[in-house]
Structure 1
Amino acid sequence: MKNSILSTVTFVIIAQLISIVASSQTQLDSLPYTPETYLSTYEALENWSPLNVDEMWDVPIVPLNLEFDFPCFGEFATPGEIRLTDIGAGIEVFGDNGEFHLFSSSTVSISDILNVAATDTSITEGSTHRYVTVGTAPNRIFKLEFNNVGFDYEMALTELATSRANFQIWLYEVGTIEYHYGPNTVTDLEAIDYWPKPSTGISSYWD
């Protein structure tokens, strides 16, 4: 039977950054992370590179270009086992023990995010996935930015993508995970997801 551990942290969507930090603890804990939140100014990535994602992407699943192994839930994942997923606007991690983990930055309900085309007359920039690695070993940080993305749930209901958002996931070489939330045009949470409140999560699945 498939089991799961899910930790959710409620956040408020505002133009400033709300960062949710999950710091790794020990392998013996049922959920080896402690959530923290803090406020600071959102900074879009600079000197970023685009992920190898088709311009007309729809739920792309591609490896991330990590330059280090990432400790997760008491095991390690090599760069080839860490992938982008737009399910919940997140990252999939396959550990060396065969376990699967999901970092969902937009919704715990794992609703997909949406590619907003730049050809729309109301949109001057399309949606992109951007990344950069900063620092030196053993303290490097991989930063992934979901830039100007929309929400499938809203599109399915209204055939429009008026709600757009910018946010980032940071993976620290030491195992810390951060979610950063920036400028957005979300005015109605019920328009972008059926989940009763804004949330983010870290999930662990195993057989």
Structure 2
Amino acid sequence: MRSIILIISIIILFPNFLFSQYYSFSFSNGAYTELDNPVSLNNGQVWNVLELGFPIGFNFPYFNSVVDSLFFFQDGSSSTLSSSREDGGIHQLFIPFGAALVDRGYGTSVSQSPLSYKLIGLPGNRVLKIEWKNAGLYGELQFNGTTSDFINFQMWLYEISGNIEIHYGPSLFNYPQFDFTFESGPAISLIPSYDWDQDIFSPNSLWLVGNPSNPEMISSENIYFLGGTIDPNTIYHFHNLLVDVDNKEFPATVVYPNPVVDILNIRLKNVINPATVIICDMTGRTTLIRWVTCRFLFQI
């Protein structure tokens, strides 16, 4: 049996819906491919602490917020992205690889660690891909004076499903104790709310824990780390479990259950004209498109 998620078009947030239920988690393996002709973020400049931002290209649902731009978080590592450029206030954070990163060309005038992004696809079905290429580990530079260790990874944001994927490529961790500043591994996290001024994470923040080859996702206000390094060609999938409905003419729309197996119930009250229902699986792939003409109940 296969689970599917309904994507129509406004986010319905049920009052008793737990933040941990905004996303489910899975992992897989797949060949890592570098971005072809991406847009450069650092433009050849050697980087450490970044003051850069860029548009997502579409409105991206993130927990109970909508994010349209991303900024390198000034109070975190160079792999942490925020919804805000402000020093202070509340931030929604994405942490695809929570370790302090640095350009491997640090101390020279030539960057060896390009940062870039690429928006692909047509409106309604676009994917933003952000790439950290050949990034060094600042901990190794700080404690050992070298930048021999490195990591390649990408974060993908899917417009149609709200899913998030993190793809990990070639890496080297000869000095893991330095690379992760004496923690067990990197932090991988989705943060719905971080209070910069109080230095408080939302208790609904999602963290990966355990073996990087078979991690689990937990919800906590505390910081957690993976128990080791992530193998190349690993893909972490965060599946958005929200139901999306974008038609103000259907105020009594009810969709259940979500996620769903086999039968999806869609109750549309006061339907006059046919409505389009698009069913997507957890990868964002459209599996079914149908016209709904019934007034009360539609079953898939």
Taking structure 2 as the reference length, what is the TM-score of the superposition? 0.52
1:184 maps to 2:171: yes
Task: State the aligned residue count.
Answer: 173
What SS is found at the alignment partner of 1:197? Answer: coil
What SS is found at the alignment partner of 2:49? Answer: coil
Which of 171, 189, 203 aligns to 2:157? It is: 171
1:53/1:33 CA distance change after superposition, 3 Å: farther
Q: Which 5+ residue runs of structure 2 have no aligned equivalent?
A: 1-6, 196-300
Cα pair 2:153 2:168 within 8 Å, conserved: yes
- Where does residue 201 of structure 1 map in the other structure? 189
Question: C-alpha deviations, 1:136-189, integer Å up to 9, x for none?
Answer: 121100000001111111111101111011100111113211111001122342
1:76 maps to 2:66: yes
Greater RCO structure (CA 8 Å; 6+ sep): 1
Question: C-alpha deviations, 1:119-141, integer Å up to 9, x for none?
Answer: 87xxx970110111111121100
Q: How does 1:92-111 map to 2 (within 5 A)?
A: 92-94=82-84, 99-107=90-98, 111=99
Percent identity between the two aligned chains: 24
**What is the one-letter code of the residue matched to 2:27?**
T
Cα pair 2:152 2:171 within 8 Å, conserved: yes
What SS is found at the alignment partner of 1:175? Answer: coil
What SS is found at the alignment partner of 2:139? Answer: helix
Which of 35, 39, 42 aligns to 1:49? It is: 39
Cα pair 1:59 1:112 within 8 Å, conserved: no
- Where does residue 122 of structure 2 map in the other structure? 136
- Where does residue 105 of structure 2 map in the other structure? 117
C-alpha distance in structure 2 between counterparts of 1:204 and 1:87, whole Å: 18
What's the offset of the Cα at 1:30? 2.2
- Where does residue 11 of structure 1 map in the other structure? none
- Give RMSD over aligned pairs: 2.7
Which of 41, 56, 79 aligns to 1:66? It is: 56
Taking structure 1 as the reference length, what is the TM-score of the superposition? 0.73
1:165/1:136 CA distance change after superposition, 3 Å: same
What's the offset of the Cα at 1:190? 1.8
The runs of at least 4 consecutive aligned structure 1 residues that moved more than 6 Å come to none
- Where does residue 18 of structure 2 map in the other structure? 29
